[in-house]
Amino acid sequence: MTSANGPRKRIRGEIIKLPSGSLRVKVYAGIDPVTKKRYYLDEVVSAGPKAAGQAEKLRTKFLNQVDEKRSSRTSATVDQLMDRYFELVKIEETTRTGYESLVRIHVRPLLGGSKLSRLDGEILDSFYKQLRTCRAHCQGRKFVQHRTERAHECDDRCGPHKCKPLAGSSIRKIQAILSGAGQRAVRWGWLGVNPFDLAESVPVSRPEPKPPTSEQAAAIANAAWQDVDWGMLVWLALMTGIRRGELCALKWDRLDVGKGVLTIRSSIAQEGRRTWEKDTKTHQQRRITLDADTVALLRAYRQRCAERAGIGSEMPASARIFSLSPDGSTWLKPDSVSQRYARMCERLGWDMNIHQLRHYTATELIAAGVDVRTVAGRLGHGGGGSTTLKVYSAWVAEADQRAAGTLAGRMPELPVALSADGEFPAAVVPDDDAAPYRRIAADLRGAIVSGILAPGSQLPTVAALAERYGVSFGTAQRAIAQLRAASLVTVSRGKRAVVANAEAAADAKPAKVIGLRAVREK
């Protein structure tokens, strides 16, 4: 098209006046990758004195979005995106089932019909608010909530609906699903930007593992051993911390009795009544060293299983360690194991699940001083042990008390003691020589000078010193530290202190020797 002033520039987009006086803004955005039809950015501006200016601004906004490839390029809905996402995404079957269930129950009813091009931060915030308010999406409606959707006779489990928020972990999974689908939509050319990233992320709650106490673990083991097969399974779970699916998948060829090593290679998964064997959760096999007692129990258990099956002295290498079949040809169902364990704990008066045995194993190992990387390796965790520390290691009172004692043992001696009434004295008069650790150090120094403790000989253990002098473990340690600072003894980690320099002790302040010979001989 030309004019008197030369060629006329083509105007992109159009503003159409509707019979109501409103203005429709329409800008071509390309071919819809889903429907293969021409796709337009389209919005109506309400009639009014400023409608023309607002429509022009909207047209410019649409043009910028198209030029910068930030606009949606499809009229597809969230439902269509979810269908395509699950068609192409590669995830484990159990994970897929869980994801599809969350989408079917929570995403499709609330967002399924929404066009991807219309999603914004406000819509997503409203969506997640509903999930945080009520997992049934009641929106204030009153109704009777039945225990099952099947035909049934109502009992005390059916009653008026009470709002319960969806768990934070489930909401985070939904966010991950939508964000992952949105990223693929951008890669497919459906969207210019991922609208699901506009949502505010749900903070990760602090893990609070609740492992059984030592007393509870002992009671659980005793109750389980009333049935040898069940007792062996629970005992192995306590001693190794392996997952329930990994327990169900164990075969006899994965136990090396000579080396006392158990190899974890696979796991049993379950969905409804269907079960199948798959890789471990981290897709890696691992080896777990067993203690002598557990190896002996497994050896005896294998012989018992063989005698019961009538196949000689040993079970076949390919037989499952835990099975309802005499020949070990079938595996246990993980859900059945969980249900039996929960019922056993309920009879003992506790509400527990079998996964807490992993918590117990991790907590006890870490409390005993085993390094985190080793614990993570036994449990099958990645990340160098970060998961183990954050999720599975509960606070242990005994370890916490040891930490407090260690810290107190390194602090200077208090120059004041409370009265019998628990009050401070009127005046503080320090008496350094009366400090218990100084008295112990002086006695040891005198023993070194007198030759009772010759160079190269070992000092009494810290525990022996603490018992002999009636002091705390930390006080006895402080006495050894004072001698070490004076170069009188050498200390190696995990070993008793050794006399190093008798001449330096001779120049030190003399002290009485109180019963060192008796302690040493003891």
Residues 266 and 380 in one domain: yes
Instruction: Give the CATH number of the domain where residue 224 resides.
Output: 1.10.443.10
CATH number for position 508: 1.10.10.10
Residue 425 lies in a domain: no
Burial 93-125 (b: 16+ CB within 10 A, else e): ebeeebbeebbebbbbebbbebebbebeeeebe
Query: pLDDT: is 79 or 442 the higher one?
Result: 79
Same domain, 481 and 456: yes
User: Are 305 and 382 found together in one domain?
Assistant: yes
Sign of the Cα pseudo-torsion (304, 310, 312, 316, in order): negative
At 240-299, the pLDDT tens digits run 989 999 999 999 999 998 888 999 999 999 988 889 999 888 888 889 988 888 888 888
- Asked whether residue 503 carries a pLDDT value surpassing 80, the answer given is no
Residue-number span of the structural domain to which 329 is assigned: 214-392
CA 172, 173, 177, 178 torsion: positive or negative?
A: negative
Q: What is the pLDDT of residues 191-214, one digit of tens each?
A: 888 989 888 887 766 667 788 888
Specify whether 513 is located in the same domain as 484.
yes
- Establish if 266 belongs to a structural domain: yes
* Enclosing H/E stretch for 30: strand 23-31
Q: What is the mean pLDDT of residues 21-31?
A: 83
- Please tell me the total count of domains within the chain: 4
User: Are residues 329 and 245 part of one domain?
Assistant: yes
Residue 496 lies in a domain: yes
Residue 9 has pLDDT above 80, yes or no: no
In a domain, 505, yes or no: yes
Nearest Cα residue to 363 out of 215, 204, 261, 241 = 241
**pLDDT given at position 388:** 72
In this predicted model, what pLDDT tens digit does every residue of 454-485 receive, in sequence order? 888 888 888 888 888 888 777 888 888 888 88
487-501: average pLDDT = 80
Average pLDDT, the chain: 81
Q: Which of 219-233, 260-274, 370-384 has the lowest mean pLDDT?
A: 370-384
Better-predicted residue by pLDDT, 313 or 448: 448
In a domain, 72, yes or no: no
- Tell me: do 178 and 229 sit in the same domain: no
pLDDT above 90 coverage of the chain, percent? 26
| Residue 28 shares a structural domain with residue 103 | no
